[in-house]
Amino acid sequence: MDNYIKFNEERTVTYKPAGSGKIFTDPDADKMREYFRDQKPRKMVDKASSIDRVVKELVNDGDYIGVGGFGANRIPTAVLHEIVRQQKKNLGLAGHTATHDFQILVGGKCIDRCDVAYIVGLEARGLSKSARRAVESGEITLTEWTNAALTWRYKAAAMGVSFLPVRCMLGTDTEKYSASVEMECPFTGSKYLAVPALYPDVGIIHVHRADVYGNCQIDGIMVADNDLARAARRLIVTTERFVPNEYIRRDPAKTVIPYYLVDAIVEVPFGSYPGNMAYEYFSDEEHLRAWLKAEKDEAGFSDFLQRHIYGVSDFNGYLDTIGGLKRLQELRATENLVEK
């Protein structure tokens, strides 16, 4: 019978830091175990709150943030706007396909460091002038990664280990500006990169429905949100709608975020606007174009932010500035392929 261990004796190997990037968050799994034991709200009690309050109470200057969804799909816009409105400063960000979310936070000058996989662009829509200005000025410290690397960094944290071995980034400048470590497999001797667990101070996720305790359902793709929810020290959830706990218990296989991960939850209908919310409403491409256009000069952008964020008191106020329910109904029709 074969024994597939290539190396069956003790041996020394080399761990070689492969990148010059900084690690912005502590990957230590034991420290996080203690944090989770002592601080995670295991009480299954009503955690419904308001946007204003969750940002005041759960987001501190200097925090490192992980945003759910995918750039302009299922993003927690209300919380992002409120972070800008409350002028939070020196935030770190996991730039895991950060598109409109990055644009909002950089617009508010909230970020000073970023783990980059994808920033400054809005995919097929083009590049954000404002975000590029900020990054090109050097005011944001960057460590380079990839979408998979960041996803696996969340997964390491979610699994409760301080690193995972991966096979991307190898041989490139992306590796050189990351903070990964070259190592080898104990069994095969194959080369791997180790990436450190990423435990954000705050995770912010928008979901389709949840009960007031924080048991959440998401329809369609998960992106990396199940792992992000498990990795975050504090977790803020916004939900399109509350449902009774009984609804959650009807199909427990659909619960992707259990209550004991959630610190606070806020009902925010159309909460991903102008992003896409699967089965609910399509992205508002017109408004996203308006963002990109407004960024072309700084004064114009200032006015734009004033009109849509600083000058309104809450997310419903923002929705009024873009045409309110009428516009949202159009986006609902687009999402559901209803002919106009």
Partner 1 sequence: MEYNDMELMISLASRYLEDDSIVVVGTGAPCAAAMLAQKVYSPRLMIMFEAGGIGPLLPSMPISVGDSRTFYRGLVASSMPEVMETCQRGLVDYTFLGGAQIDRYGNINSTMVGTDFQKPKVRFPGSGGANDLASFCWKTMMITPQDPQRFTDKIDFITSPGYLTGPGAREEAGLPPGSGPYKVITNLCVIGFDDETKQMKVESTHPGIEREKVIENTGFELLWADDLTISEPPTADELKVLREEVDPYRYIIGRA
Contact positions toward a copy of itself, by CB under 8 A?
1-5, 7-17, 22-30, 113, 141, 160-167, 179, 181, 183, 185-188, 190, 192, 194, 196, 219-221, 252-253
Tell me the closest approach of the beta carbon of residue 150 to a copy of itself, in angstroms: 15
Comparing CB distances to a copy of itself, the nearer of 175 and 284 is: 175
Question: Hey, which bits of 26-175 come out as E strands?
Answer: 64-67, 91-95, 111-116, 141-144, 163-166
Of 178-217, binders to partner 1 (CB under 8 A) are 182, 190-193, 215
Minimum CB separation from partner 1 for residue 31, in Å? 10
What residue has token string 């159309």?
270
Q: Which stretch, 48-56, 113-121, 293-301, 314-322, contacts partner 1 (CB under 8 A)?
A: 113-121
Tokens of 90: 């020196």
Q: Say whether residue 262 binds partner 1 (CB under 8 A).
A: no
Residue 283 interacts with, from partner 1, a copy of itself, none (CB under 5-8 Å by kind): partner 1
Size of the site for partner 1 (CB under 8 A): 96
Q: Interface with partner 1 by CB under 8 A: which range of 57-65, 270-278, 306-314, 319-327?
A: 270-278
Contacts 24+ apart (CB under 8 A), 32-36: 32/157, 32/160, 32/197, 32/199, 32/233, 33/160, 35/233
61 binds partner 1 (CB under 8 A): no
Residue ranges of the alpha helices (H) in 98-195? Answer: 100-107, 129-136, 147-159, 173-176
CA distance 145 to 116: 6
Nearest to 234 by CA among 71, 35, 34, 33: 35
Residue with tokens 């409403």: 281
**Residue choice 51, 149, 195, 229 for contact with partner 1 (CB under 8 A):** 149
For partner 1, the closer CB: 307 or 332: 332
